[in-house]
Amino acid sequence: MRIIFIGDIFGKIGRRAVAEVLPRWRKKYKPDFVIGNGENLAHGVGMTEKTVRELLDAGVDCVTGGNHSFKAEGAKLMARGDLPLVRPANFPPGLPGRGDMVVESKDGKIRLLVVNLMGRVFFQSQYDDPFRKLDEILARYHNSPPPPLNLRGGELNGILVDFHCEATSEANALGNYADGRVSAVLGTHTSMGTTDTRILPSGTAYVTEVGGVQAVDSILGEEKNGIIRSFLLQQPFKHTPVETGLCQISAVLVEINETTKLAKSIKRIDEQIVIE
């Protein structure tokens, strides 16, 4: 099984870049699934039905979230339950949406469990423990004991975790905690891709941060001067996404072994294109 995972897709420029590159990537890499993080789809904060539909029409199979999952129309979309959306599973109980879901290939022969988790370090909100929440989710799908990755009844062909976190230490800790129990742990949120794509000792594909889909001439997708001014004056900045120009598309390609359900390989497939 092959999976393309696209990092934090930021605003209009990110959506347009994904729509442009994905048909070519599908032809080149022949993925069984394309997963994308969409917590900042709508003008750089949250998601709307229109922006989610743009990704689905472009060929994304499942959209993951993060700390902005409920902004814009996100809460309403999560509550509906008819779109392939997941938000962090360790949000407090009682919130709409789901933190894990199984996506299927068109022929129904390949099934991937997608899990979304939030880190806790450096966030103001008090999220539940992502480590124990992962244990809770995996208990529903695992035969015991792994490894090798032993999925209940052969129902799944792999498990992918989007870990939306700030601290590199927390990402590394969760990756190693999950090693051998999931197919891949892929970090999102900081939008600056890291170079540590690797297979962990027990067979889980890992990268601390996939990176974002955003304007290169920006600061995390935002107009630069406003961000710099906010650091100089310690005042809030005006939210001004950069919507045209050279766009960075950060993504990884993960290949999963059919027998072990663990990773065979992971590599970055980053690209830059100009969006007018």
Closest listed residue to residue 117, CA positions, set 140, 97, 99, 93: 99
Q: Is the pLDDT of residue 3 over 60?
A: yes
- Considering just the CA atoms, what is the radius of gyration of the chain in Å? 18
Edge-to-edge strand ranges of the sheet holding 271-275: 8-9, 212-215, 245-249, 271-275
Read off the pLDDT of residues 17-56 as tens digits, 9 standing for 90 and up: 999 999 999 999 999 999 999 999 999 999 999 999 999 9
Single-letter code of the amino acid located at 258: E
At 276, list the tokens: 């007018």
- Among 44, 39, 40, which residue's Cα sits nearest to residue 64? 39
pLDDT score recorded for residue 148: 61
Per-residue pLDDT averaged across 1-14, rounded? 98
- 187-210 pLDDT, tens digit each: 999 999 999 999 999 999 999 999
Burial of 258 (0-12, 13-18, 19+ CB in 10 A): exposed
Average of per-residue pLDDT across 125-130: 94
Reply yes or no on whether the pLDDT at 249 is more than 90: yes
CA distance 188 to 206: 12
Nearest to 248 by CA among 220, 212, 275: 212
Q: CA–CA distance from 268 to each of 20, 56, 181, 249 (Å)?
A: 18, 22, 22, 10
| The predicted structure's pLDDT at residue 6 | 98
The pLDDT confidence band at residue 137, using thresholds 50, 70 and 90, is very high
pLDDT at 12 over 90: yes
For residue range 142-192, what is the model confidence (pLDDT) as tens digits?
A: 776 555 677 765 689 999 999 999 999 999 999 999 999 999 999 999 999
In the annotation, is 68 catalytic?
A: yes
pLDDT of residue 151: 75
Helix axis angle for 49-58 and 11-29, nearest 10°, is: 20
pLDDT at 229 over 60: yes
Rounded distance between C-alpha atoms, residue 226 and residue 219, angstroms: 9
CA 67 to chain centre: 12
Query: Which domains, ranges and CATH numbers included, belong to the chain?
Result: 2-275 (3.60.21.10)
As a whole number of angstroms, the distance between CA 221 and CA 239 comes to 10
pLDDT score at 261: 93
Q: Is the pLDDT of residue 218 over 70?
A: yes
Long-range contacts of 100-106 (CB under 8 A, 24+ apart): 100/137, 101/62, 102/156, 103/33, 103/35, 103/61, 103/62, 105/32, 105/33
Q: Quick one: pLDDT at residue 78?
A: 95
Q: What is the distance between the alpha carbons of residues 230 and 91, in angstroms, rounded to a whole number?
A: 29
* Percentage of the chain lying above the pLDDT 90 cut: 89
pLDDT of residue 108: 86
Residue whose C-alpha is closest to residue 266's, from 209, 212, 207, 213: 207
The H or E element containing residue 186 is: strand 184-188
Q: Identify the H or E element spanning 212.
A: strand 212-215
pLDDT score at 37: 98
Active-site hit among 43, 68, 164, 239: 68
